[in-house]
């Protein structure tokens, strides 16, 4: 140990002296201490930087993870693809498939799940999974009742069905017109119940949904504070009572997180019957300032396709989005049926 220490000090003194001699000093140092030179030669050359991991100097860095986005100002991060409570999840006769699909979705990183008491057996099927995986999910459900008492009763029913003791996002479901909104805002209205549930801590955030007309939703945002809004967004939607044109910007000004639905207009826009691929529809919707796009599914294959599209998402330019909207113009009446028939 002492010999090594003395040799180390000796080498240090020689190195200092030789350093003053420049290149000649380096030659003499290698001559007197060849083993040190050999060790230096064994050191691997530094690996060249991978240009794909080197920050660019020509603009802000692109986020590495495009899979999650913040939900408005709630502080919650949600997967850009959200699993809707329709499709197989609503079918009472397909419980096993529904539970398997839910488990698979969570395994793939989907953390946003949307449902409602009116979606068949959806809440019950989701509840089977919430028993063991509740902490992996941002769970949203709704009240279609406009009264205080009715909403409180519906909420308790949803808790039992979902097998949980709290809801992440509780929403006024399907606001149709201003009169409908005013009823929910009344002294004995649903909003009073929702605020109370939030104050009690059994609801984290409150929201509103609507698919017929953006006007009553704007009215609600002017009258009360909401954390999120669930609205239809697709290339055909812009041609009639457009939520994109009349609601999105106002919601953002109100710090409301935007959740998209009706991405395929219940399949009427997607191939082979419709003019678009699922990829183009999701690219369009997710290029808007949304937090998540909720889609109902019928199979595991659809789940994997949607997740892959959203994980590899390429956002569209404004020009590309306008081209899709122009392409949808011819079929917009067929695609906007939920604004007139429901």
Question: In total, how many domains does the chain have?
Answer: 2
What stretch of H or E contains 335?
Answer: helix 332-335
> Which tens digit of pLDDT belongs to each residue from 164-200?
999 999 999 999 999 999 999 999 999 999 999 999 9
Residue 88 domain flag: yes
- Predicted confidence (pLDDT) at residue 53 exceeds the cutoff of 70: no
Q: Is residue 324 part of a domain?
A: yes
Name the catalytic one among 112, 119, 170, 284: 119
Residue 263 within a domain: yes
| Residue 70 β-bridge partners | 77
Structure tokens at 328: 């949808």
Over residues 257-281, the mean pLDDT reads: 96
CATH no. for residue 234? 3.20.20.100
In the prediction, which pLDDT does 66 show?
Answer: 86
User: Has residue 53 been placed in a domain?
Assistant: no
130 and 180 together in one domain: yes
Q: Are residues 132 and 276 in the same domain?
A: yes
Average pLDDT, the chain: 87
Based on the fold, state whether residues 30 and 72 are members of the same structural domain: no
Q: Is residue 48 part of a domain?
A: no
Pairing mode of beta strands 77-79, 112-114: unpaired
- What token pair was written down for 180? 């409908």
What pTM does this model have?
0.81
Taking a C-beta distance cutoff of 8 angstroms, is the pair 133, 113 a contact? Answer: no
What is the C-alpha separation between 25 and 37, in angstroms, rounded?
Answer: 13
Residue 59, domain member (yes or no): no
302 in Cβ contact with 101 (< 8 Å): no
Backbone angles phi, psi at 222, to 5 degrees: -75, -30
pLDDT value at position 39?
41
Which pairing describes strands 167-172 and 138-143: parallel, antiparallel, or unpaired?
parallel
In a domain, 60, yes or no: no
Query: Both 153 and 196 in a single domain?
Result: yes
What's 74's DSSP letter? S
The backbone torsions φ and ψ at residue 229, rounded to the nearest 5 degrees and listed phi first, read: -140, 135
Q: Which run of H or E residues covers position 260?
A: strand 257-261
For residue 269, give the nearest of 309, 234, 295, 300 by alpha carbon.
234
Whether residue 33 sits in one domain with residue 147:
no
pLDDT tens digits for 271-299? 999 999 999 999 999 999 999 999 999 99
Q: Where are the alpha helices (DSSP H) in 51-147?
A: 95-107, 122-133
220 plus 84 within the same structural domain: yes
Q: Kindly state whether residues 209 and 323 are assigned to the same domain.
A: yes
pLDDT at 46: 36
**How much is the CA Rg of the chain, to the nearest whole Å?**
29
Catalytic residue status for 119: yes
Domain that holds residue 180: 68-339
């Amino acid at each position: 140990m002492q010999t090594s220490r003395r040799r180390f000090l000796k080498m240090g003194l020689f190195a200092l002296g030789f350093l003053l001699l420049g290149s000649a000093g380096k030659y003499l140092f290698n001559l007197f201490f060849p083993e040190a030179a050999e060790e230096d030669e064994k050191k691997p050359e530094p690996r060249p930087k991978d240009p794909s991991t080197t920050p660019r100097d020509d603009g802000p860095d692109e986020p590495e993870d495009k899979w999650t986005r913040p939900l408005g100002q709630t502080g919650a991060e949600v997967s850009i693809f959200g699993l809707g409570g329709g499709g197989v999840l609503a079918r009472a006769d397909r419980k096993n498939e529904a539970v398997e699909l839910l488990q698979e979705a969570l395994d793939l990183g989907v953390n946003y799940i949307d449902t409602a008491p009116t979606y068949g057996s959806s809440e019950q099927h989701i509840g089977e999974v919430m028993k063991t995986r509740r902490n992996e999910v941002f769970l949203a459900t709704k009240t279609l009742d406009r009264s205080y008492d009715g909403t409180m009763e519906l909420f308790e029913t949803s808790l039992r069905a979902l097998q949980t003791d709290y809801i992440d996002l509780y929403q006024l479901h399907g606001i149709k017109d201003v009169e409908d909104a005013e009823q929910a805002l009344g002294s004995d209205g649903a909003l009073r119940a929702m605020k109370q549930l939030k104050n009690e801590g059994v609801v984290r955030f409150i929201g509103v949904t609507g698919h017929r007309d953006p006007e009553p939703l704007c009215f609600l945002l002017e009258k009360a504070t909401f954390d999120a809004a669930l609205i239809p967004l697709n290339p055909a939607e812009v041609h009639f009572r457009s939520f994109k044109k009349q609601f999105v910007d106002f919601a953002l000004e109100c710090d409301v997180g935007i959740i998209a639905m009706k991405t395929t207009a219940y399949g009427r826009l997607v191939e082979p019957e419709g003019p678009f691929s699922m990829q183009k529809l999701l690219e369009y919707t997710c290029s808007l300032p949304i937090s998540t796009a909720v889609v109902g599914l019928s199979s595991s294959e659809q789940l994997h396709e949607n997740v892959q599209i959203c994980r590899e998402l390429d956002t569209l330019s404004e020009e590309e989005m306008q081209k899709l909207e122009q392409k949808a113009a011819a079929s917009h009446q067929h695609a906007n049926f939920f604004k007139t028939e429901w």
